[in-house]
């Protein structure tokens, strides 16, 4: 990149910041597509209860048995999807090692306009606890706080 190109880009960046476009708060006011990105959303108790009832119905109240922790994650994803939500944490395999354990996963609203943007729900976390009962059968307890 030549010095002239760099200076032109830097000047354009200064102009954007000077106009207020480059400031965090101005996006929420001036550009509707970015407004939701900067907001922190909350969940009403009735929606939370629907999710928790769905998790119980899917056997994640300790009464169901799953072939793997991953199988329970698939079921959780389905329950959340029915309520327009998704897991926003990256559920890496290292989080679910061992015969017993627990994890906390962030959740957010699905955005059909841009599936790559996270719309985190700030007042709820999905808690999951697992225990290997016998070879290949896990007991899973999961709830949304």
Contacts of 45 (CB under 8 A, 6+ apart): none
Q: Which residue has the higher pLDDT, 23 or 99?
A: 99
Share of the chain above pLDDT 70, in %: 68
Average pLDDT of the segment spanning 19-28: 40
Q: According to the model, what pLDDT value does residue 93 have?
A: 73
Q: According to the model, what pLDDT value does residue 87 have?
A: 86
Among the residue ranges 20-29, 75-84, 94-103, the one predicted with the least confidence is 20-29
Q: Does residue 11 carry a pLDDT above 60?
A: no
Q: According to the model, what pLDDT value does residue 50 have?
A: 93
Q: Are 102 and 142 within 8 A, CB to CB? A: no
State the Cα–Cα distance between residues 49 and 44, nearest whole angstrom.
Answer: 9
Task: Give the CA dihedral 126, 75, 96, 60, nearest 10 degrees.
Answer: 70
List residues bridging with 85 in a β-sheet. 109
Q: In what order do the strands lie in the sheet with 137-144?
A: 61-66, 137-144, 120-134, 100-109, 85-87
Q: According to the model, what pLDDT value does residue 126 have?
A: 93
User: How does the average pLDDT of the chain come out, rounded?
Assistant: 75
Residue 89 pLDDT class (50, 70, 90 cuts) = confident
Q: According to the model, what pLDDT value does residue 67 have?
A: 92
Q: Does residue 18 carry a pLDDT above 90?
A: no
Residue 86 pLDDT class (50, 70, 90 cuts) = confident
């Amino acid at each position: 990149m030549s010095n002239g190109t760099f200076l032109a880009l830097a000047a354009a960046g200064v102009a954007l910041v000077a106009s207020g476009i480059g400031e965090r708060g101005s996006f929420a006011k001036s550009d509707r597509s970015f407004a939701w990105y900067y907001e922190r959303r909350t969940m009403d108790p009735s929606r939370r209860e629907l999710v928790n009832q769905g998790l119980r119905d899917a056997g994640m109240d300790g009464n169901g048995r799953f072939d793997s922790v991953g199988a329970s994650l698939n079921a959780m994803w389905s329950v959340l999807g029915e309520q327009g939500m998704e897991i926003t944490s990256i559920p890496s395999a290292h989080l679910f090692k061992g015969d017993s354990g627990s994890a906390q996963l962030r959740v957010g609203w699905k955005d059909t306009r841009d599936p790559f943007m996270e719309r985190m729900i700030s007042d709820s976390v999905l808690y999951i606890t697992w225990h290997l009962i016998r070879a290949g059968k896990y007991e899973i307890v999961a709830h949304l706080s």
